[in-house]
Amino acid sequence: MQHIAIIDMGTNTFNLLIAEKGKDGKPNFIYSKELPVEIGKGGIHKGHITDEATERAVNALHLHNKTIAEHNIKDVYAFATSAVRDAGNQKEFSEKVKKEAGIDIHILSGEDEAKWIYEGVKHASVLGEHVSLIMDIGGGSTEFIITNSDTVFWKKSYPLGVTRLYEMFNQSDRLMENQREVGKYIADMIVELIEAAKEHSPVELIGSSGSFESFAQIILSRTGGEPNPQNGYDFSMEEFDKLYSELMKSTLEERLQIQGLISMRAPMFAYSGLLTKSVLIRLGIKKMKLSHYALKEGIAGHLLEKA
């Protein structure tokens, strides 16, 4: 196996990653495509994947299959995360995907998800000897890993994805109107994370996944510059705090006008801001950076290294 296609069937997006094994044995990531699917929409808080979401999933997989064929890739590994693993109808969903798109789905546990996120972030060369907190915000879950470049000290997956929060608490257009209630819910959920942070004292937050990419793109659109294509971006905390305050007050219509924010993320994006800010405050972290690599890169690297 010199090339592999990875399909990350996330709660909001289905991401295709094509990777090859480099001469040094390390993975080279040569193609990436993100498609909006929202398989958690309308059902994630009920533990159910709707018929409409299943149809969107199958259509997206047909598109990814076409790209895979164009690249003449034979080895394909597809995996699903929170929305599928928590769904009461996951068997029916998996069988329909297999029948209509020819895709076998590997359903990851939260523990495995956190493990492969760590491996992906390692490929981005953003970890050092100091202790960091990796945070990966998904639609159905958010993963936390306390680590340095050599050792994972603690990791956990929480059902704190932004789609899940949005469907639980979306009582008003402006999040600030129920910000206290959502913030308390988040704080009550991450008690174990707070205790682990007291023990291991992470000095920075490393954000992977789409929410942190969006934070970076929005801030860069306002301040200029470009993130490093591999190692990511060091956030200005002053700029992040400005963005956070703006998100708490914003309506959906206003979020749709934010330069650098893709429209699919706009309904739920204030929850990404509140979740991140809650963690920074509770853990007393004052530095934040972006890793472009996360879950799918971790799995691709592992499979290629085994080959």
132 lies in the same domain as 281 = yes
Residue-wise pLDDT for 193-205, tens only, equals 999 999 999 999 9
Closest CA to 42 of 33, 30, 55, 31: 55
143 lies in the same domain as 38 = no
Q: Averaged over 69-80, what is the pLDDT?
A: 96
213 lies in the same domain as 275 = yes
Q: Would you say residue 232 lies in a domain?
A: yes
Reported as type and span, the H/E element at residue 93 is: helix 90-101
Q: Would you say residue 69 lies in a domain?
A: yes
Closest CA to 34 of 64, 1, 73: 64
Q: Would you say residue 118 lies in a domain?
A: no
Q: Is 269 helix (H, G, I), strand (E, B) or coil?
A: helix
Amino acid 146 reads I
Per-residue model confidence (pLDDT) at position 172: 72
Q: Could you tell me if 110 and 160 are in contact, meaning their C-beta atoms sit under 8 angstroms apart?
A: no
Residue-wise pLDDT for 277-303, tens only, equals 999 999 999 999 999 999 999 999 999
Percent of the chain with pLDDT over 70: 98
Q: Which residue has the higher pLDDT, 289 or 232?
A: 289
Residue 230 has pLDDT above 70, yes or no: no
CATH number at residue 219: 3.30.420.150
Q: Would you say residue 48 lies in a domain?
A: yes
Q: Would you say residue 268 lies in a domain?
A: yes
Per-residue model confidence (pLDDT) at position 285: 98
Q: Would you say residue 206 lies in a domain?
A: yes
181 lies in the same domain as 60 = no
Residue 12 has pLDDT above 80, yes or no: yes
11 lies in the same domain as 149 = no
Per-residue model confidence (pLDDT) at position 235: 95
50 lies in the same domain as 20 = yes
Q: In angstroms, what is the C-alpha Rg of the chain?
A: 19
154 lies in the same domain as 261 = yes
When pLDDT is cut at 50, 70 and 90, the band that residue 229 belongs to is low
Q: Would you say residue 151 lies in a domain?
A: yes
Number of domains in the chain: 2
Q: Could you tell me if 106 and 80 are in contact, meaning their C-beta atoms sit under 8 angstroms apart?
A: yes
What is the C-alpha to C-alpha distance for residues 177 and 277, in angstroms, rounded to an integer?
17
For the whole model, what pTM was predicted?
0.94
* Domain that includes residue 173, residue range: 125-291
100 lies in the same domain as 210 = no
Closest CA to 211 of 249, 171, 256, 162: 162
Q: Would you say residue 116 lies in a domain?
A: no
Report strand pairing: 76-80 vs 105-107.
Answer: parallel
7 lies in the same domain as 140 = no
103 lies in the same domain as 129 = no
66 lies in the same domain as 98 = yes
When pLDDT is cut at 50, 70 and 90, the band that residue 22 belongs to is confident
Q: Is 55 helix (H, G, I), strand (E, B) or coil?
A: helix
What is the C-alpha to C-alpha distance for residues 48 and 104, in angstroms, rounded to an integer?
19
What is the C-alpha to C-alpha distance for residues 55 and 104, in angstroms, rounded to an integer?
16
CATH number at residue 50: 3.30.420.40
Q: Which region, left, alpha or beta, applies to residue 259 given φ > 0 means left and ψ of -120 to 50 means alpha?
A: beta
Average pLDDT, the chain: 94
Letter string b/e over residues 137-164, b meaning 16 or more CB atoms within 10 A of that residue's CB? bbbbbbbbbbbeeeeebbbbbbbbbbbb
Q: Averaged over 162-184, what is the pLDDT?
A: 89
225 lies in the same domain as 80 = no
